[in-house]
Chain A
């Protein structure tokens, strides 16, 4: 079945690292994605990882994939107030994106 789960809320201090976690159920996804949604806006693709990779780094973002445990994480280094948003992970088992519930990241100055 298709089910993607995330914790609902994460609060960090500015300058700290943020780690947002996600678990998914369908191992047939070719790619796994992280999207960012700022208040009242559409979703912005942050990064994605091919399913046969363990890690991908893109500037302040690091994606880790544990296929055995079906666990995906997004690490944001040196978190800034502008990183405050809802972060969605997503899988694509059937050529359609299935989104998690989203994690609200609150960055305290």
Chain B
């Protein structure tokens, strides 16, 4: 069966420090991968999605970047964090046709201080 792993679960980082959040999927190949951010107030904003290695699309201009070094690995990064980067970051994967929606990781709570 397929599983998705996301870590760390919580992170407190100072302003200006770098960031690296990792997400891996097991039990499937060539998944679609997504990064969402959930800021206070609940809404989910799609940050990046990837339909394959070296195929990453950014949905909103921001201080973050994404990379997919392997088929089932998706990394969210920043060179210098801002206070506004605080939030709950969720990784998700799906099959190509989305019949079964997305499967989400357990999330990373990032607090920038």
Contact = CB atoms under 8 A, between A and B. Distances in A.
- The A contact surface, by secondary structure, is strand
Given A43-B90, A88-B44, A102-B43, A97 B106 contact: no
A90 B101 CA distance: 9
Interface residues of B, number: 24
A96 B43 contact: no
Nearest to A34: B101
A88 B6 CA distance: 21
12 contacts: A31-B99, A35-B101, A40-B107, A41-B106, A42-B90, A42-B107, A43-B90, A43-B104, A45-B102, A96-B59, A97-B94, A101-B43
Given A45-B101, A95-B98, A96-B34, A101 B42 contact: yes
- The B contact surface, by secondary structure, is strand
A96 B46 contact: yes
A24 to B, nearest CB: 14
Nearest to B46: A96
Interface in B27-63: 32, 34, 36, 42-44, 46, 49, 59
Q: Which of B44, B100, B103, B105 has the most CB of A within 10 A?
A: B44
Contact of A33 (B42, B46, B101): B101
B98 A44 contact: no
A98 B97 CA distance: 15
Q: Which of B46, B59, B98, B101 has the most CB of A within 10 A?
A: B101
Contacts of A30: 98
A67 B32 CA distance: 27
A83 interface: no
